[in-house]
Structure 1
Amino acid sequence: MMGRYFIGLLMLALALVAAPARAHKPSDSYLTIRVAGQQVDGQWDIALRDLDFALDLDQDGDGDLTWDEIRSQHAAIANYALARLALTSGGAACPIVAGEQLIDQHTDGAYTVLRFRATCRAAATALGVGYRLFADLDPQHKGLVKLEHEGVTSTAIFSPDAARQDLLLRAPGKFVQFAGYVKHGVWHIWIGFDHILFLLSLLLPAVLAPVAMQQEQPLRAAFTDVLKVVTAFTLAHSLTLTLASLQVLSLPTRWVESAIAASVLLAAVNNVIPLFRGRRPLAAFVFGLIHGFGFAGVLADLGLPQSALALSLAGFNVGVELGQLAIVAVFLPLAFLTRRTWFYGQLMTTGSVVIALVAAVWLFERAFDMKVLPV
């Protein structure tokens, strides 16, 4: 029974991975709102792959979106998006007018950048935001909203289950800011499929003896092994996440994303052909340094309030660790209980080969900026 349950979890994981293969995360959009008195200026970054699914932007059906195809659909994109965004102040609607549209590259592909302006009847202490983008197409879609007002930044996450929120135009309390970034951190580790696959690939041998993979590892020894790997990964990515977020150190996005894909590939191959030979914690630390830059890229998209920089950064980091620990808490007991089964042996070999193949596709796509699998 437990084995079948574990198989189900694996199939779910593989289904998620087989979703957008080059994506660092599933469907998100980034909405920045700047409020000055009665005027509201906005910038909305929406993934072109999501808009193509909703509006069929690829008019010739060749699988590649060209600038001409996107430009010819600017009006349709603006109408579609802004019909699913509502701003209110003091209970009255703030009419939205579309502005220019540009194209920008995020870590997971090309985004349209839709700028707009709204005018409210009067300044208020809160801005009401109604967000319904892709609510009818993707129940997992999230809108990451950043509100700026008089030098103060606050954030919120919108989803079909939380489509209407009132965002205060005053500085939120320190605890509220910290808790908000903890939530962001948890969410982003849970949707970072490459980070998860890297960690799970390193943890798969934890319940097996280090020399002969067919032998059993006592629970205490397995727990210690997992603790070493997770601690090394945590220390490393926390270090580079902090340095990159504070703009002390930075690397080109393509290098970072390609190196993350390479780390998943090597971690999976190690389960079939030993590469690290008992040094998985060291591998977790070395590659964790690269993964930290990946987390920093996500945080850069979200933004950090300068008024509470250290607190928000700490909150995001805590959220990443909590999300990571939740994954480990599910994995370790299931792995330990199924370690004697034929399935776990197949997971170590066939499962690792599948992960390695997916990571190889990621690596090729990210390194050469080419699409292999459909998105």
Structure 2
Amino acid sequence: MKIQAAVTRAQGAPFSIEEVRLSGPGPGEVLVRVVATGVCHTDAVGRDLAVSPYPIVLGHEGSGIVERVGEGVDDLAPGDHVVMSFAHCGRCGNCLTGHPTVCEAFNELNFGGRMEDGGARLHHDDGDLSTFFGQSSFGTFAVAQARNVVKVDPEVDIALLGPLGCGIQTGAGTVLNRLKPGFGSSIAVFGCGAVGLSAVMAARIAGCPRIFAIDVHDSRLELALELGATHAFNGGKVDVVAEIKAASEGGVHYAVETTGVPPVVRQSLNALRPLGTAAIVGVTPKMEIDVHNDLMAEGKTMVGVIEGDSVPRVFIPQLVEFHKVGRFPFDRLVRYYEFDQIEQAFEDSASGRTVKPVLRMPVAAG
């Protein structure tokens, strides 16, 4: 079938909305009419850093409605409202023990440019187009493996839900699935983008009495306070570590680091009390830490977390339920853009003007 898709033809190239061909669904796959899709920092990484083969259709926070199911799919049906999340094999030891975010084939399935069977689903006159995260949601339709597709409540606006597939579940899941702060625990969240603010909201759900938000944009700090943070510090204006230690009786129990900025990573470790844990979720370059003073001497833990250590088919519906009862108002992070405004959406995300851009697909698509 013919669809409209935003094609990236070379590293750092602008998006080109083109007519391309989409084949499938094959066995175990579903065809989804994409209603909307989030814009995530990982999409910018895919555009600019050549983590996947070009040409490619990016996008990995798609939400929409099932149009058709492939052979062997019996738990999804046409008309179902769904969110598409990351690809995983469902067979390796990590998948089978509830940790698909560290699937043994994660990099191959999400960044390798092909579907699980090794074939392409997207095609252009000059050859195949690579798939991203097993979905390529920067298109009016997408084909995805059924196991990576999450059925959601049809009463909730499907255009809103796409970011739950990656960025939102990353922040919330890091707190609720991996750190699991106990009663009375304090937490600091470094970076108040979509991931960080989701962590703030999750910390409030978990009942943390002291939630510290750190950013360099005052507008985002104000939003963090509205969403549940009890303290907010501008890292460009104050000594963040000193402020956190003064307000938390010597340091926080947990930290979530979302920025990937090496000095901020160090701050997330130094703001911990003895035996504290810092979860690193930002894409961080090579950097140095003082293992003795930053980590070992006070028995601290530094852990990497991917996609919030989530099982999407379990966790995403839980987040939807929290949203429905007003405990997870992630809609306050979202600003909508039309599909042909994709370049503006990326610019606004990079500048900090928009926390979570969401692209709406044309209503009459396909």
Identify the TM-score tier after normalising by the shorter chain: under 0.3
More strand by share: 2
Which is higher, the Rg of structure 1 or of structure 2?
A: 1
More helix by share: 1
Q: TM-score, normalised by structure 1?
A: 0.24
